[in-house]
Amino acid sequence: MRFLLLASILASLPFASGCIPLGGCGAFQGAGDQVYARGQDQLILCENGGFVVDSAQYGTIEGRYAWDDTSDVSAVATDGTTGALAFDFYNNGDGTASTPQLGDSPWTTVDLDKTALDHADTACQTLETRSWWTTPST
């Protein structure tokens, strides 16, 4: 009987966010993450200083980025595993960004709601579990 009552209550609640209201999505992390898309490809510049690129052409690339105030490049991203340059990131100032090493097409800023940012931030938090994350950069 109690199970039926609980099921009835849960069934009547709105799930517009895609999360179970009783602790389903956590504390909504990722507000400082920047998400970009280009077709089916996705680029996330994480608030923790990491990045994740999921690309049909290049696969998944993970690493760190640093803002560069000394040149016309907005940020420089390095591959976490090899330490090699992954891409230069240029903020075009019009809601798009360019990464020449990853192709000529621009990335478009994606505005995500809290739930979607929470899910995207999972990739950012996973970076911190990689062995290269704690290795000092040279």
Taking only the tens of pLDDT, the chain with its 138 residues reads 443 333 333 343 333 334 444 444 455 556 678 999 999 999 999 999 999 999 999 999 999 999 887 777 799 999 999 999 999 999 998 999 999 999 999 999 998 888 888 888 889 999 999 999 987 654
Q: What Å distances lie between residue 51 and 16, 32, 33, 42, 101, CA to CA?
A: 29, 12, 9, 11, 15
The tokens for 25 are: 């999505």
Considering the domain 33-134 in this protein, what is its CATH number? 2.40.128
> How many Å is the maximal CA-CA distance in the chain?
67
pLDDT, residue 72, reads 72
Per-residue pLDDT reduced to its tens digit, 34-46:
999 999 999 999 9
At 73 the pLDDT is 78
Rounded-to-10 torsion of CA 100, 103, 104, 108: -90
- Which pLDDT value is given to residue 21? 44
The whole-number pLDDT of residue 31 equals: 66
pTM here is: 0.74
**Residue 1: per-residue pLDDT:** 41
109 in Cβ contact with 34 (< 8 Å): yes
